[in-house]
Amino acid sequence: MILHIDMDAFYASVEQRDRPELVGRPVIVGGTPEGRGVVAAASYEARKFGVHSAMPAVTAKRLCPQGIFLRPRMEDYAEISDQIRAIFHCYTPLVEPLSLDEAFLDVTGSQSLFGSAVRIGRAIKHEIHQRLRLVASVGVAPNKFLAKIASDLQKPDGFVVVEPGKEQPFLDPLSVGRLWGVGKVTGGIFERLDIQRIEQLRQLPLDLLQQQFGHSGQHLWELARGIDDRPVVPEQQAKSISHETTFAQDVTDPETLQAWLMELSEQVGCRLRKHGLQGRTVQLKVRYADFHTVTRAQTLSQATDVTQEIWRIASRMLAERLPARRLRIRLLGVGVSGLDQPKAVQLSLFPDPQHEQQTRLDEVSDQIREKFGGGSLQRALGMLHDVRARATKSDPDREQ
């Protein structure tokens, strides 16, 4: 059995926990309206006004004039995320983090020690609340796809169980928009076919789905039946370190994307250095508004953990190696693979002065953030998304 555990409004909840005067008030973490930043997270009090992540802060201010805008404290959130994962590992070694605030857990082999998957899920949820004073929503199901849907159904503070053999009664009444890969374009096709619920989709023949959606037809056919064979992959067994972000609004501005690339590259570089790893291959992941996903990779002559080098390669691939099509990006990701310990990497006989300089810069930056918090230091390019994110356009039909 699989658990999907998702922290509710994580960044905003941490701020409310650490500042009791913010409890019950609309907290918006991210850029400021004056700087035209973007929303990284919004408390449920703010979401009632229509505020959501990746929304321009100026729009959030218009929707929620009484909102309290706070800059992110990424290092603090990362530290709390580590504490949450430590709780997970008390129950199973099979933990696959998706981001700082969510993860899949395979507890199949843990039930002889801790009881049923439902009991384990409730124990983890209770422990997070007791030890960290934070709230998680939990989905319990036979596979990752169903667990992910289950954790989202009763947010906040949700706990939903899909028992084996009950997959179809669980899925059938749900909107087709709950399926992975169903966005505005796919949803429009379903609307023309008068397909609203998963049960209706399940009744369509596979050849019709393949005719309408190409290779994605098989994917949709399987999901409508609750089929998902992907295993939970523990982080220590991962062959790469990556970070990605899904925008609540499709991003169309190239400079905004470059700024987000820097932010993602910094997160990847920081994790590499924290674990004492370097990698030879930089990967770029781009998902368009119609869910078409493109990945690109470039292998370096020498392994690296340097933020600037990771960003430079990812930036070049974004600018030069994407297909010629309209730029409407739903998801952006950066990763590094071909991991190795630095001591096992052969040193160059002729060190690159710029590489050495950037390495020292990362070391100092990491020390400053560790001492003063994640918001204490930020690269200039990384701040561009505060300025340029206003170019994004709203897409109310997008899957959240």
pLDDT in tens, 383-392: 444 434 333 3
Q: Tens digits of per-residue pLDDT, 25-38?
A: 999 998 778 765 67
Angle at 104 between CA 101 and CA 110, to 5 degrees: 125
Q: What is the mean pLDDT of residues 77-82?
A: 89
- Cis peptide upstream of residue 156 (ω within 30 degrees of 0): yes
Q: How far apart (Å, rounded) are the C-alpha atoms in residues 3 and 299?
A: 35
**Sheet bearing 68-70, strands edge to edge:** 39-42, 27-30, 68-70
Q: How far apart (Å, rounded) are the C-alpha atoms in residues 18 and 27?
A: 12
How confident is the model at residue 398, as a pLDDT? 32
* Range scoring the smallest mean pLDDT among 52-56, 197-201, 237-241: 237-241
Q: What is the mean pLDDT of residues 254-276?
A: 84
What is the Cα Rg of the chain in Å? 22
Domains of the chain as residue ranges with CATH: 168-223 (1.10.150.20), 239-391 (3.30.1490.100)
Residues whose CB is less than 8 angstroms from the CB of residue 286 and which lie 6 or more positions away in sequence, other chains included: 293, 294, 295, 296, 318, 322, 329, 331, 332, 333
3-state secondary structure of 308: helix
User: What is the dihedral sign for C-alpha 123, 125, 126, 128?
Assistant: positive
* Range scoring the smallest mean pLDDT among 31-35, 228-232, 290-294, 305-309: 31-35
**Which pair of tokens denotes residue 298?**
């470039």
Q: Which residues are known to be catalytic?
A: 102
Higher pLDDT, 136 or 370: 136
